[in-house]
Chains A and B, each alone.
Chain A
Amino acid sequence: MGSRLFQALADGVLGGGVYGLMAVGLTLIFGVLDIINIAQGILVILGSYLSYVLWAHLHIDVFLGLLITIPLMFVLGVAIQWFFIRPLRGRERTSMSLLASYSVAIIIEGLLYQVFGSNYQSIQTKYFTNTIKVFGYYIPYIYLYGFGLAVLFVAAVYYMLYRTQFGRSVRATMQDQTAARLIGIDVNRVAALTFGIGVAVTAAGGMVYGSINSFSPNSGADLISRLLAIIILGGMGSIVGALGAAVIMITLESLVDVFWNPNWSVVVFYAVLVLVLVFRPQGILGRKEARAQ
């Protein structure tokens, strides 16, 4: 029982860290641009496929491959924002951008189906097959490295936000776009770059995800639902909230998985979301916004 508990917790915390990384990108985008990037899920999967291609066909180590995939995804993110989100104007920008990102998501999904087919892939690296024994349970290295990577990236995002000039612009834009414009911040540039950063972290998340799970283009939908639930729970726009909620939710799901019934773990996941929202519509760390739009 003890080792099962440990297994569940380890899976939960470590897995939660990786989900947290992906959720941080999503919540950052929301905080700055006030839009929900539904494409985040499928972009993770795209990251997985990119890492897969580099690993399977070019035999590049997955961690090294990040040096290629991260910049690629960054550019893709900037492009998506620039061409499909930025042009949206009008009073219902937020709803429209949501639909726009949804459309981008299904386009990418369709393209992935076209190129890779619907079979499940996985990245079978030595990081997964080699394990380290802790408390009677074997933890694959990828979990630890993945968690470490997540911590590294979140720390990097924090550093960027709080220690750099650009980060200051981002935080200013998060607080008040108009005011930020008035003090000379190029809000468009900040928006595009932030979106790029939010998407770039999905490359790392995708690599880890693809090394642990088998994936297909279909996996994007499940992923985005979880990520959305996580950021809502943690409070949209809150990076700490996203991280915390990710670890808590994935651990909870893992516990249900191990001790109750794997079929229901996902339902529990969403049920918790719904429950929290009944009592606290703004999420755990969210601000109580005026319900303008």
Chain B
Amino acid sequence: MSASRPMSASPMSASPMNASPVRANAIWRIAAAVALLAVVAAVPLTSNVTLVHVGVFVLMYVGMAVSWNIFSGFSGYISLGYAVFFGSGLYTVAIFSKHLNLTGSTVFAFLPVGAVVAGVIAIPVGLIALRVRRHTFVVITIAIFFIFQLMAYNFGFTGGSAGILPPYLNWDPNTFNNPFYYIALIVAVGSMVLAWGIWGSRFGLQLRAIRDDEDRARGLGVKTMRVKLIAFVISALIAGVLGGLYFYFQQEALPEFAFNPFLDLTIALMVFVGGFGTLWGPVFGALLLEPYLGYAQLQISNSYVSEIVLGGLFLFVILVLPRGILPTAREKLTALRAGQQRRSAAKGASPPSGMTASTVQAGSGSPSTGSMR
């Protein structure tokens, strides 16, 4: 006699026992997701250039937040060096475009190159950085970030502080943003699917186990270095693509923008706000924060104030909502529901069912818990 709950924490699986209601549920979810996707994809058709422009940034941040979370959130190793790979991808595409004098849609063909270069760089960086304890790890990522920024300033082929400009793209300014929007959308959705796939996979489980107790995981046979490194490289690959995309979008490669110290902080903040280490947290955080941050940057020309706001926000989130909005909200909801069940059970004649008792005892233990991670 096995439990009647779905056994896996994967959001879309269903045990054969409860096929009908769970499968119907899943169908509704997929339908909603597709509808949402259609709406988002239709935005460029509105011909509202500003909206699309903002949309590109929002989508890029969704992609960055999700890919950052795939490594940092799942493994628990907070990295402040995402910008290293973003910038590497950016400069790779910049250098190629300059030397090959790329124009037209061939520019996008080199995005994968940017990704590959970033990924290749991630391997030695990861091998060095992942050998140390967690807080030393953060510091190393910071150190490596500065090394890269300095290299961008000092190397000849990166153009030094003058940077690199792309060959002129003779595109209609009304639709200029559109290809960027779609690519950013593809990357964002792709990252989310990837994150979801990793979550329920053996690889992802091992990664999450590493976050909880790395030594125990290693003692049980998990190849921790390999697992961490793979996640690190995956994160870097996506960063590289987005960096390359950003180069063409901004039409320049400058050390302080390609290797921007606030990028990592902003991404980390979004992920923490939404829910560090969860599946939907990064998405939620990016969607919530980027419109504001983007707007703030445009309106408040004084970037120092936005700096203070960023820091203040981060502090607030860390101190008040350390687990992020989504997990905290879910906990409150579960507690509420448990309270209701308790009250109705106390009132009603029937004794509390086994489910209720265990819900009350276990707190947040419910099968749907898996879906929001």
Contacts and interface: CB of A to CB of B under 8 A. Distances in A.
Report if A and B touch in the complex (beta carbons < 8 A): yes
A274 B128 contact: yes
Interface string B61-103: 0000000000000001010000000000000000000000000
A74 to B, nearest CB: 21
A232 B139 contact: yes
Interface stretch (B192-200, B240-248, B305-313): B305-313
A92 B307 contact: no
A95 B146 CA distance: 20
Interface stretch (B45-53, B181-189, B314-322): B314-322
Contacts of B142: 225, 228
A281 interface: yes
Contacts of B272: 99
Contact of A225 (B134, B143, B305, B312): B143
A207 interface: no
B253 interface: no
B134 A103 contact: no
Contact of B146 (A36, A270, A292): A270
Contact of A84 (B138, B139, B315): B315
A134 interface: no
A219 to B, nearest CB: 13
B322 to A, nearest CB: 6
Interface stretch (A107-115, A119-127, A238-246): A107-115
Interface residues of B, number: 38
B154 A36 contact: no
Among A106, A281, A289: residue with most chain B CB under 10 A: A106
Interface of B: 76, 78, 128, 131-136, 138-140, 142-144, 146-147, 150-151, 154, 214-215, 261, 265, 268, 272, 304-305, 307-308, 310-312, 314-315, 318-319, 322
20 contacts: A36-B139, A95-B78, A96-B318, A100-B315, A100-B318, A103-B311, A103-B314, A103-B315, A103-B318, A106-B265, A107-B311, A111-B308, A232-B140, A266-B146, A270-B147, A271-B147, A274-B128, A274-B140, A281-B131, A293-B134
Given A99-B272, A105-B311, 20 more contacts: A36-B135, A84-B315, A90-B322, A94-B134, A94-B135, A98-B138, A99-B268, A100-B319, A102-B311, A103-B312, A104-B311, A106-B265, A225-B142, A264-B154, A267-B151, A270-B146, A277-B131, A277-B140, A278-B131, A281-B133
Interface of A: 35-36, 84, 87-88, 90, 92, 94-96, 98-100, 102-107, 109-111, 113-114, 221-222, 225, 228-229, 232, 236, 263-264, 266-267, 270-271, 273-274, 277-278, 281-282, 289-293
Q: Which 7 A-B pairs have the closest CB atoms?
A: A110-B308, A107-B311, A110-B307, A113-B304, A103-B314, A106-B311, A103-B311
